[in-house]
Amino acid sequence: MRMTAWGPEYIRRKIVAETVNILIILFLVLPVLAAVFGSLQTERALLQDYLNPWPKEIIFDNYRWWLTGSVEGTVYEKSTFLLDAGSAVRLFRGSFLNSIVVSVAVTVLTLLFASAAAYAATRVPVRWPRYLMIINLVSRMVPVFVLMIPLFVVLRQWGLLNSRTGIILTETGFYLPFAVIILASYFQSLPHELEDAARVDGCDRLGALFHIILPLSTPGLMACGAIIFIFSWHDLFIPLIISPKSETMTLPIIMASLVRSYSVPYASIMAVCIMTLIPTFVLSLLLQKYVVQGLTAGALKG
């Protein structure tokens, strides 16, 4: 018996689906809200009533301390914190710049190489691209920490340790298989007729890639770029192993360094977490339409 529109069975399933959707959203959003509320109160107030994250008194000292480096008149003026004010500002601003440079470079390089690889896997009429995609998928199943020791040795021989170049090359190599899978699915959804027409007019494969495929793949490129940028922005393990020096630290390393065995400044960590989330949150909002189109194009084909 078919379920009629707006019947009792339809309404019941609709309520169940919406309830599950709301629960999932709350599961994802509540930790972020708790971090926002925790960053707007003093360390003492947060620890005294940690079960109630709602601040009794809203302050911005945690943000002001990181952004200006001035602890005078704040709750940290007479406290033994992990870093002094000058070092904190130097490391935070420098790590923010390092994160921007690394994430943008990794995103651009990954999209460049992944576009060429995905085009070859979906358009070149030979058998080896299929094996390339299988190897590409298997490489995503290898844990990162398994490869860190040989990678560390190779980068040391090349003189790329403790440098942003080493981080960029390493992250590009690890994120490239994931980007190839996304772009290959999107390229496969594009019609072959436009490319064939361009080939008839004298356009070679490289020209077809840059003049036909890539302009039509803007949603897919935007989606893939946003995902790779977010991965690189929040990556801790690779920068921590490759380049732990203060001059090349990224934001995740700064946050991890705040946790010590004898003290954990929860309020300040929450403030840094919120400031770190802002760029990726804004990027996700701006590219939301492209991300949805890019990730669903291959699934909706045919």
Residues 145-202 pLDDT 10s: 888 888 888 998 998 888 899 999 999 999 998 898 888 888 888 887 877 777 777 7
Q: How far is it, in rounded angstroms, from Cα 26 to Cα 20?
A: 10
Tens digits of residue pLDDT in 17-30: 899 999 999 998 88
Architecture of the CATH domain 85-296 = Orthogonal Bundle (1.10)
Per-residue model confidence (pLDDT) at position 70 = 57
Q: How far is it, in rounded angstroms, from Cα 169 to Cα 231?
A: 14
Per-residue model confidence (pLDDT) at position 261 = 59
Per-residue model confidence (pLDDT) at position 228 = 93
Q: Which residues in the chain show pLDDT less than 50?
A: 1-3, 75, 77-86, 299-302
85, two tokens: 């004010």
> Which of 66, 9, 128 has its CA nearest to residue 272?
66
**Total Cβ atoms within 10 A of residue 115:** 23
Domain regions of the chain by residue span: 8-68, 85-296
65, two tokens: 């301390």
For residue 72, give the DSSP letter. T
In this prediction the pTM is 0.83
116, two tokens: 């060429």
Per-residue model confidence (pLDDT) at position 284 = 83
Per-residue model confidence (pLDDT) at position 253 = 85
Secondary-structure percent of the chain, ordered helix, strand, coil, rounded to 5? 75, 0, 25
Per-residue model confidence (pLDDT) at position 89 = 58
